[in-house]
Amino acid sequence: MRESLTQIVYLSYILASVLFIFGLKMLSSPSTARKGNMVSAVGMLIAVLATLVHQDIIGYQFIIAGLLIGTAIGAIAASKVPMTSMPEFVALFNGFGGIASLLVGWAEYQRILTAGVDIPIATSLPIFLAILIGGVTFTGSLVAYGKLSERISGKPVLFGAQQVVNAVIMALVLVLGLMFVFRPETNYGSFIVVIILSGILGILATIPIGGADMPVVISLLNSYSGLAACAAGFVITNTVLIVSGSLVGASGIILTKIMCKAMNRSLTNVLFSGFGSVGSAKGADVQGEANPITPDDAYYVLESASSVLFVPGYGMAVAQAQHVVRELGEILEKNGAEVRFAIHPVAGRMPGHMNVLLAEANVPYEQLVEMDEVNPSIETVDVAIVIGANDVVNPAAREDESSPIYGMPIINVDHARTVFVLKRSLASGFAGVDNPLFFKPNTRMLFGDAKASIQALVTEFKES
């Protein structure tokens, strides 16, 4: 009886893993993605239900309490969070995943100690990894959350002996960790110290990273939260944890790679040098005359355009302009133009953030195109409208070798027939680099508040 029950539990875990895999597979298209997420959630439900009949479980009161409290907090948070705050939300939740894996490792260690049996290396090593990765993920995510939600300064925090301090802590973690791994029964003290040091390490690793690099950090922490679950899986020898944890770990690594490539920086560069704190290179001085345009004239150009490309940056979301932009897009489409939105990989504050913000404003996903998709045919675009984006359309990345952003892939809007740049003034972008795009002969500056400018264009169309 007991034997067959255990088998049913394990078969359910296989089913859950299959559902996770299918769920992720269905994320490959926006049309099936929502169902995919539900498939994955059903997998999780099956895994949880199967675990409840596990032979070691004697009392259910604490499980139910934890489930109820967690569900209440999770559900309220998920329904309240605005889409612009998604990066800090994901960061915080990564942290919760990390601390949960740490606690699982700790609880298992405690349980075996109480039982008074020997702990093999095959168990003590993953316990060490679970508390290390889990701890770093937890505090690192909290710092990322603080920076993204602007509760703490987004500026990189650098102090003199930082690298030395980090190296010393790492060495300590390693020594104490090894002591624990080989003698887990008698090294409770070093175990606790490793937990504390992991937490400190997470903070120290995240504070020197600037706000602009946060997309890389949350991708990386995403990966860590998966790896922590994996380690916890090795601790309790449970395959469903290992499989799901690896899927998440791989996902985070891929996203980290994409983000680094889009910023033309290596991971080590992101992690170990605060952006803007080192670069004194400003690039070649850009001189020239910017050509302003009035909404009136812009309207005439747009009216006769047959292909329009919006290039939104995070500034558009800050101005809450996505809804009027979508309205303008619809009007242009009715007017016979092909309308698309070109989205740079680092346009939002996390991978894919801008797409979510535009989807929230009811832009159909067919109109959202990637940089690599739009660049080869950008010469055929009549009007490219740049809203709240700057560095990601800066031709200096292509032309000026002395520019700090040289080599970063950009959307080549300067190759379009006409470019409208919506901007308050000629100030430089996030990276503090001048933008020669503003002075190109085919560029027209539409000065003023982005939302008001777009609104003015919409009104022009409606009145005609």
Partner 1 sequence: MESILLLFTFVLAIFLGFELISKVPSTLHTPLMSGSNAISGITIVGAIIAAGAIGEGTISVVLGTLAVTFATINVVGGYLVTDRMLAMFKSKEGDKK
Using CB under 8 A as the binding rule, the residues of this chain from 240 to 279 that contact partner 1 are: 240-255, 258
Q: Is the dihedral of CA 62, 68, 74, 76 positive or negative?
A: negative
**DSSP bridge partners of 368:** 341
Member of 7, 110, 304, 380 binding partner 1 (CB under 8 A) = 110
Find how far residue 269's CA is from the centre of its chain. Answer: 18
What is the number of H-type helices and E-type strands within the chain? Answer: 17, 6
118 near partner 1, rule: CB under 8 A = no
* Smallest separation (angstroms) from partner 1 to the CB of 399: 26
Please tell me the distance from the alpha carbon of residue 347 to that of residue 313, in angstroms, as a whole number: 5
* Smallest separation (angstroms) from partner 1 to the CB of 209: 18
Cβ closest to partner 1, residue 50 vs residue 437: 50
29 near partner 1, rule: CB under 8 A = yes
Cβ closest to partner 1, residue 283 vs residue 348: 348
- 205 three-state secondary structure: helix
Residue from 56, 118, 372, 391 carrying the catalytic annotation: 391
C-alpha distances in angstroms, 345 versus 262, 342, 350, 438? Answer: 6, 10, 9, 22
How does 374-399 read in b/e, with b if 16+ C-beta sit within 10 Å? bbeebeebbbbbbbbbbbbbbbbbbe
* Smallest separation (angstroms) from partner 1 to the CB of 161: 34
235 near partner 1, rule: CB under 8 A = yes
**Among the residue ranges 230-238, 376-384, 410-418, 451-459, the one whose residues contact partner 1 (CB under 8 A):** 230-238
Nearest CA-CA partner of 424 in 445, 455, 441: 445
Are the CB atoms for 177 and 188 separated by under 8 Å?
no
The encoded tokens of residue 280 equal 């004194």
296 near partner 1, rule: CB under 8 A = no
Residue 290 DSSP label: -
Give the contact letters, 362-381, x = binds to partner 1 (CB under 8 A), - = no: x-xxx-x-x-----------
Cβ closest to partner 1, residue 241 vs residue 305: 241
Please tell me the distance from the alpha carbon of residue 272 to that of residue 234, in angstroms, as a whole number: 31
58 near partner 1, rule: CB under 8 A = yes
The encoded tokens of residue 370 equal 């990637």
Looking at residues 189 to 218 of the shown chain, list those that interact with partner 1 (rule: CB under 8 A). Answer: 218
**Among the residue ranges 37-45, 276-284, 382-390, 396-404, the one whose residues contact partner 1 (CB under 8 A):** 37-45
351 near partner 1, rule: CB under 8 A = yes
The encoded tokens of residue 277 equal 């704190």
10 near partner 1, rule: CB under 8 A = no
Cβ closest to partner 1, residue 48 vs residue 318: 48
By residue count, the chain amounts to 464
Q: How many residues bind partner 1 (CB under 8 A)?
A: 115
Member of 6, 14, 34, 183 binding partner 1 (CB under 8 A) = 34
Looking at residues 76 to 105 of the shown chain, list those that interact with partner 1 (rule: CB under 8 A). Answer: 77-79, 81, 83, 86, 89-90, 93-94, 96-97, 99-101, 103-104
Cβ closest to partner 1, residue 24 vs residue 397: 24
Looking at residues 387 to 426 of the shown chain, list those that interact with partner 1 (rule: CB under 8 A). Answer: none
Residue 292 DSSP label: B
C-alpha distances in angstroms, 440 versus 57, 240, 287, 302, 418? Answer: 70, 56, 11, 19, 10
391 is catalytic: yes
C-alpha distances in angstroms, 158 versus 170, 180, 219, 423? Answer: 18, 32, 22, 32
Looking at residues 122 to 181 of the shown chain, list those that interact with partner 1 (rule: CB under 8 A). Answer: 122
Q: Which residues are catalytic?
A: 391
